[in-house]
Amino acid sequence: MIHNIPPYPSYKETSIPWLGKVPEHWEVLPGRSVFREINVRGYPNEQMLSVAIKSGVLRQVELLEDSSKKDSSNDDKSKYKLVQPGDLVYNKMRAWQGAMGVSAYRGIVSPAYIVQRLRNAENLPRYIHFLLRTPLFASEAERWSYGITSDQWSLRAEEFKCIYFPLPPLPEQNAIVRFLDYMDSRIRKAIRLRKKRIKLLEEYKQSLISEVVTGKRDVRRTNNPKKPYELHTRPPEKMKDSRVEWLGKVPEHWEVRRLRSITEMRVSNVDKHTTEDEQPVRLCNYVDVYKNEHISSSINFMKATATKDEIKRFQLKCGDVLITKDSEEWDDIGVPAIVDNIDEDVLCGYHLALLRPFSDIVTSAYLLRALQSTSVTYQFHISANGVTRYGLSHGSIKAVWLPLPPHHEQTTIVEYLDYQIAKIDSSIASDKKIIELLEEYRTRLIADVVTGKADVRQIAATLPEIQEEGTEEPDIEEEEETIGEGENVEFENEGE
């Protein structure tokens, strides 16, 4: 990273709250002097563009690819607005959230979007793009948006004209763009590497769980406190056919049982409504289970009401295991979580199944890990029904096959996996924190440079050549969009 970037030699006061002081030689002009609105229509066959909060203007196909989101644009696109490379596009209903950017593409956007074009060739679209993507500008867009509530706020073209823009001379804009493109490329690369590492760690964790709970790998305790466990490949002669295609072979002394024979299952019908003649409760809902492997009273549960019968039937108890039963995403079905210490007023909510293990057969902790294994999640996924929303029937949940070792082996397996997963999760958390810091640094750096708080002219002149602007692939992972409208990590040594 580049530190200690100097300020400009002299500044002037702008009397504009979101800008404050700017370099003395910069211009500060209202939007009406910088942009002109574009309303060219009649090009229905051009590619569709979308405006994303995180990445700005993207091809719609990039957002729809590998996504459950649907194209909500009209069949008749004759009234859609034409966008040229270099045009500013923003969603007037979400400009205050950052849904704006300068387009690198020719295409069309919804008539509800605003298209603006720079009046003067002395201003660089890329500089404007960096400026508009700052939280500072988003706050100013919010200030000029009209509406009673946030979901009605709208930044109309008339108000956009009133927003003031800092404009350095063209050579300086070139220097700023050169510097920010260089730094942005380096930071994005560092973030991609961290995300790749997280993905590999998640895959390793999934593989480890699957191999251990299916008996492919044998966990053994040791007397070494620094390495309390050893993992060995189980000899083929010690394995038997499970007679379950997707499970394969299991240890010869293990059982293979259906879920119905080792747990009591209850599918919740407690809704989120509040009724005066019912008792107040808190609901553990889909999101609580999806985001938390362990359910406890520390979670901020939703408040609702329930009947006495519902409370009796769906009250959570320590050791219960919950799974997601319905989801818009096929691979979000069957995600498990275990209930730890819990208050008496917390119930299992809708879209969840409650599994209460028969403790003399299976431990809650082992059941959690078994449900996380690939062989079990696969059974859930192929059993899910639906088109736009997927769900598991009562029968398909109960029919799932699980490998079942003796009680003492269940305990050893859980202890080993908890030990290993804690280290993996710690490494993942560290990488996520680094990503968060990198993104914060990038945001702060861009804001400081485009508003003149940092002078990068000399630094920009010394930077090496970088790839042509606009060739960087956008990061659309977990993107919020509008469509139409590192270190070494040591794990336990494995012995053969």
User: And the tokens for 436?
Assistant: 């968060």
| Closest alpha carbon to 305 in 280, 276, 270, 269 | 280
375-387: average pLDDT: 88
Q: State the Cα–Cα distance between residues 445 and 188, nearest whole angstrom.
A: 13
Give me the pLDDT at residue 122, please. Answer: 87
Q: State the Cα–Cα distance between residues 274 and 304, nearest whole angstrom.
A: 5
484: left (phi over 0), alpha (psi -120 to 50) or beta: left
217-223: average pLDDT: 92
Q: State the Cα–Cα distance between residues 15 and 88, nearest whole angstrom.
A: 26
Give me the pLDDT at residue 329, please. Answer: 80
Give me the pLDDT at residue 70, please. Answer: 61
- Residue 496 pLDDT grade (very low, low, confident, very high; cuts 50, 70, 90): very low
Give me the pLDDT at residue 493, please. Answer: 42
Given a cut of 50, whether residue 347 has pLDDT beyond it is yes
Q: State the Cα–Cα distance between residues 34 and 473, nearest whole angstrom.
A: 29
Give me the pLDDT at residue 148, please. Answer: 78
Give me the pLDDT at residue 55, please. Answer: 85
Report which of residues 488 and 123 the model is more confident about: 123
What's the pLDDT tens digit per position in 148-188?
777 778 999 999 999 999 999 999 999 999 999 999 999 99
Q: State the Cα–Cα distance between residues 60 and 484, nearest whole angstrom.
A: 9
Pairing of strands 321-324, 100-102: unpaired
Given a cut of 60, whether residue 370 has pLDDT beyond it is yes
Q: State the Cα–Cα distance between residues 276 and 271, nearest whole angstrom.
A: 14
82-102: average pLDDT: 94
CB 294 within 8 A of CB 337: yes
Q: State the Cα–Cα distance between residues 452 and 11, nearest whole angstrom.
A: 9
Q: Is 487 exposed, middle or buried (0-12, 13-18, 19+ CB in 10 A)?
A: exposed
User: And the tokens for 262?
Assistant: 């080792």
What's the pLDDT tens digit per position in 237-273?
999 999 998 899 999 999 999 999 999 999 998 988 8
What's the pLDDT tens digit per position in 297-317?
999 999 999 999 999 999 999
Given a cut of 70, whether residue 491 has pLDDT beyond it is no
Mean pLDDT score of the chain: 90
127-136: average pLDDT: 95
Give me the pLDDT at residue 399, please. Answer: 95
28-40: average pLDDT: 96
* Secondary structure class of 360 (helix, strand, coil): coil
Q: Report the percentage of the chain scoring pLDDT > 90.
A: 76
Q: State the Cα–Cα distance between residues 250 and 247, nearest whole angstrom.
A: 8
Phi, psi for residue 114 in degrees, rounded to 5: -105, 130
96-107: average pLDDT: 94
Q: pTM of the prediction?
A: 0.83
Neighbours of 28 (CB within 10 A): 14
372-400: average pLDDT: 89
- Residue 465 pLDDT grade (very low, low, confident, very high; cuts 50, 70, 90): confident
Given a cut of 70, whether residue 21 has pLDDT beyond it is yes
Give me the pLDDT at residue 490, please. Answer: 39
Pairing of strands 481-482, 49-52: antiparallel
User: And the tokens for 472?
Assistant: 């960087």
